[in-house]
Amino acid sequence: MKVFEGRKPLGGWIVWPTLLVLAFAVGCGGGDESDEFDTSISTTGTAPTTADLDSTAAPGATASPAPVAAALVPTPTVASPPPIVASTATTVAVSPNRPSTWVYWLSDIDLEAISSARPPVVVIDHSRDGSPEGAFTKVEIQQLRSALPEPALVIAYMSIGEAEDYRYYWQDDWKSGNPEWLDSVNPDWAGNFKVRYWDPDWQRVVFGGEGAYLDRILAAGFDGVYLDIIDAYEYFAERGRDSAEAEIVEFVTAIGTYARKLNPGFLVIPQNAPELGTLADYLGAVEGIGVEGIYFGYDEQDVPTEASVTRELEDVLGTWVSAGKLVLTVDYATSPDNVSEAYERAASQGFTPTVTDVELEGLPSPPPGR
């Protein structure tokens, strides 16, 4: 999670007509009611375009875990099934089956607290501290899922646009330029380095290589992956790499293709860069999107996001909603009025919101009335 970094007005997006319609019928109850929701998903598959995508199973991973979400199967036409919400130029009809909220917790994760809160969707780090020793086990993930409203989604955070020096894969002699794919340090986040994500060697760190990041997540039994720093493509495009956008699309697509060979129901949910959803191949390769700061916290916690940015984000996310994708929004606010406003505005657009502290070190603020 890279808050407040590299953000700018999002003008110039063109929302294409919807080219792909999915059904993501997910719902949740509250309190002591049934708390059940359906995570059936259908999509059109796309072949990986990353040159070194390995067609073999991941080392040490099981080949056929029971999927929480339904298998992703080709859809013969875009006319059916109908989307979970219907959008028009002025209104959004929100399905009651949309998950009402989610938990986003990356630091000092307390699985017991999450279990007690019983959210329908959870995004956590795969490790308590980034180390192999701190990694959650398959038993722990199964226990967490069993405590949540069935069938819950437990999704692992993974940064693919930056390398982090506290991760298990980091080597002591690494620095900018060594290895060649390791770019400049992020001045706003100590220990985080931009990566040339199109490089096969970095991609093998992420998936398919010995002890790869994604392979560990799959082996631990997570239901999907939440990909961060997708907007790294803007960083490299601004520095003259014309292929940066196409290469991030290829990378994300290859991650999903690889994972679904091991778990057909595995979900891929990128964070930020929602403008890529105007690309049919990208929209068809993922099951949803997470977006930060749509109403509060785009530049600073508890500060309202500029109205023009909010409008453009809502507009482009309409493409995702109309396609039946799960849209997870996270606003950074603690003021009760701001918390209530963020939840209400996001829900009215067909999004699944959470509102939390920017440090992501605990349960979110509850929605109004909870």
Query: pLDDT tens, 250-282?
Result: 999 999 999 999 999 999 999 999 999 999 999
Task: Tell me the residue range of the domain where 282 lies.
Answer: 86-356
Residue 350 is given by DSSP the state T
Q: Is the pLDDT of residue 2 over 60?
A: no
Quote the Cα angle for 135-225-28, to 5°: 105
267 part of a folded domain: yes
pLDDT at 63: 39
pLDDT at 75: 32
Average pLDDT estimate for 22-32: 36
Q: Which long-range contacts (CB under 8 A, 24 or more apart) does 114-117 make?
A: 114/144, 114/148, 114/363, 115/143, 115/144, 115/147, 115/148, 116/147, 117/363
pLDDT at 167: 94
Q: Which of 7-16, 174-183, 309-318 has the lowest mean pLDDT?
A: 7-16
Average pLDDT estimate for 177-183: 97
48 part of a folded domain: no
Q: Where is 316: in which H helix or E strand?
A: helix 307-322
Which comes out higher in pLDDT, residue 15 or 46? 46
Q: Is the pLDDT of residue 200 over 90?
A: yes
Q: Is the pLDDT of residue 334 over 60?
A: yes
pLDDT at 342: 98
69 part of a folded domain: no
Q: Which of 6-20, 60-74, 270-284 has the lowest mean pLDDT?
A: 6-20
Q: What percent of the chain has pLDDT over 90?
A: 69
Contact 326, 290 (CB under 8 A): no
What pLDDT band is residue 95 in, cutting at 50, 70 and 90?
A: low
pLDDT at 314: 98
CB atoms within 10 A of CB 17: 6
201 part of a folded domain: yes
CA-based nearest residue to 68, from 142, 136, 159: 142
Measured distance CA(270)–CA(289) in Å, rounded: 5
| Amino acid letter for position 328 | L
pLDDT at 96: 55
191 part of a folded domain: yes
- Token pair listed for 137: 């086990």
Which comes out higher in pLDDT, residue 98 or 302? 302
What pLDDT band is residue 79 in, cutting at 50, 70 and 90?
A: very low
Residue 68 is given by DSSP the state S
Most confidently modeled of 39-53, 95-109, 295-309?
Answer: 295-309
Q: What is the pLDDT of residues 274-309, one digit of tens each?
A: 999 999 999 999 999 999 999 999 999 999 999 999
298 part of a folded domain: yes
Average pLDDT estimate for 349-367: 96
Provide the number of structural domains found in the chain: 1
Residues with Cβ within 8 Å of residue 52, at least 6 apart in sequence:
200, 203, 204, 208
Question: Whole-prediction pTM value?
Answer: 0.78
205 part of a folded domain: yes
Q: What is the pLDDT of residues 126-166, one digit of tens each?
A: 998 778 899 999 999 999 999 999 879 999 999 999 999 99
Any idea of the CA torsion for 245, 268, 92, 304, to the nearest 10 degrees? -70
- Residue 290's CATH number: 3.20.20.70
Q: What is the mean pLDDT of the chain?
A: 80
92-93 and 86-87 strand pairing: antiparallel
Which comes out higher in pLDDT, residue 302 or 23? 302
28 part of a folded domain: no
Average pLDDT estimate for 302-326: 97
pLDDT at 1: 40
Contact 47, 257 (CB under 8 A): yes
